[in-house]
Amino acid sequence: MSGRGLTYWVSASVDAVVLAHDVILCIEFKTEDKAHSLLARRQVEDYALDLRDFREASRGGRLAPIVVVPKAPRSRLASTEDSTDPVASVRLANAADLSEVVAEVFECLHCENRDPINAEKWDKSPYHESNIKSGQPCLAVRIRWRNR
């Protein structure tokens, strides 16, 4: 949805979630695209933020959003830095370098001292539409301004 210089949307679901020890990879595939779009980067970042904020078992974990456009040229636009933010920068991959990108992200975000994520518990973990302490449901909408 868009209008008057802003774009907003409500997330549905990410294409793939990979639980790799203590790292949660959020992977969005854009098989019909030929390049990595800003919309795709924002979409996968939004999915990762939703998992961080609303999936109970994701809280406290490290999340890595990745956009895969199989036909896109190789891109090193975003790098994975070791920061305190639980959601890393969006990484871009194509068919040829997906495994390399996943390995780099894991190596950067993985911490030997953290317990591995229990896949069964994570899968059954509640997804709360609201993380407001009152428990009142709310609609989470992320608003982004576009420069004209």
H-only helix segments in the chain? 38-54, 98-109, 119-124
Full-model pTM: 0.78
Q: Which CATH number is associated with domain 10-111?
A: 3.40.1560
pLDDT-derived band at 22 (thresholds 50, 70, 90) equals very high
* Spans of all domains in the chain: 10-111
pLDDT score at 127: 82
User: What does the alpha-carbon distance between residue 134 and residue 123 come to, in Å, rounded to a whole number?
Assistant: 25
pLDDT score at 29: 96
Query: Average pLDDT, stretch 19-39?
Result: 95
User: What does the alpha-carbon distance between residue 118 and residue 143 come to, in Å, rounded to a whole number?
Assistant: 33
Q: pLDDT tens digits for 101-119?
A: 999 999 999 999 999 999 9
**What percent of the chain is predicted at pLDDT more than 70?**
73
